[in-house]
A and B are shown apart, each in its own frame.
Chain A
Amino acid sequence: MNALFITIGQNLFFVFGLLACAGAAAMVLSKSAVHSVLSFLFSMIMVAACFLCLSAEFLGMAQLLIYAGGIVVLFLFVVMLVELTKYKEKSLFALQTKWSIPLILVAMATFAYTMKSNLFNAPASVALTLPPDLVQGLSVSAQNAQSVSRGLFAGFLLPLEILSVILLVSLVGALVLAKSERVA
């Protein structure tokens, strides 16, 4: 039993990743939309745990806040707004299912063949580093959020500003699109 726990602890990333994939499969296959959203929530929490296993602490917490806190609640509200019960008698899957399943299987086989060549089998665990002019007063291995923010503002300043404009546009666009026509 103890040896089992030790083995699981060493492969914690794999466990969390498989749980995330199981949640994703439950999301795709479940009948009710609310069950789908809850499986999506489970999957997102497990992905956050994967990020923590990869020692990306800040991104794990951001994943929890953005996905589990924001996006899932948004999806739940839309499920509540949109009445889904009247389509219960209709078929769950789209018309092109019988074509798309073989397509997905072929794509998976191609990817598995690529990975079989062991292209990336290096044990991936290098400590994070920053360029020397950004490091001052910071222990990079211990302070993940500070290191990521310094890297972000050093190399991705313009994309960050563009992202802020895009978020503003999406805010206005969502308001315009979802506005009821009776008010207008």
Chain B
Amino acid sequence: MISLNVVLFVSSLMFFIGVAGVLIRRNVLIILMSVELMLNAANLNLIAFSRQSGTVEGQAFALLVMGFAAAEVAIGLALVVALYRRKDTIQADDINLLNG
């Protein structure tokens, strides 16, 4: 059977790939996808702990996290489109108006 350590290993690997995507890519779209990846790693952990403790609360909370992720993606993509209209770029390094 699946031991909890295996699940934690896989989800931590996925989380760190998401962190790497946020930190090293310039494209805002890919940064958004990496954030989604990190949320999925957290969901995996929630489901694994729910299975270990035998309660359904983890799965219910994972469902709520999915809903929040959908809302976040809608707002993020609208921001990307607005950014492209206004600044004509979606590269994170080019958006440096707040750079002192």
Contacts and interface: CB of A to CB of B under 8 A. Distances in A.
Partners in one complex: yes
Interface of A: 13-14, 17-18, 20-21, 24-25, 27-28, 33, 36-37, 40, 43-44, 47, 50-51, 53-56, 58-59, 62-63, 66-67, 70-71, 74-75, 78-79, 81-82, 84, 87, 90-97, 100-101, 103-104, 107-108, 111, 115, 118, 120-130, 144, 147-148, 150-152, 155-156, 159-160, 163, 166-167, 169-171, 173-175, 177-178, 180-181
B61 to A, nearest CB: 7
Given A21-B17, A59-B47, A115-B9, A177 B29 contact: no
Given A74-B73, A170-B74, A58 B5 contact: no
B2 to A, nearest CB: 5
Chief secondary structure at chain A's binding surface = helix
Interface in B33-82: 33-34, 36-37, 40, 43-44, 47-48, 50-57, 59-64, 66-75, 77-82
Interface of B: 1-14, 16-21, 23-27, 29-30, 32-34, 36-37, 40, 43-44, 47-48, 50-57, 59-64, 66-75, 77-82, 84-85, 89-93
B17 A167 contact: no
Contacts of A178: 77-78, 81-82
Nearest to A156: B60
Chief secondary structure at chain B's binding surface = helix
B10 A17 contact: yes
Nearest to A16: B10
29 contacts: A13-B6, A18-B10, A43-B37, A47-B44, A51-B47, A78-B77, A81-B84, A82-B80, A90-B26, A90-B91, A94-B93, A96-B24, A97-B23, A100-B20, A101-B20, A104-B19, A104-B20, A107-B19, A120-B8, A124-B2, A125-B51, A126-B52, A127-B54, A156-B60, A163-B64, A170-B74, A171-B74, A174-B77, A177-B79
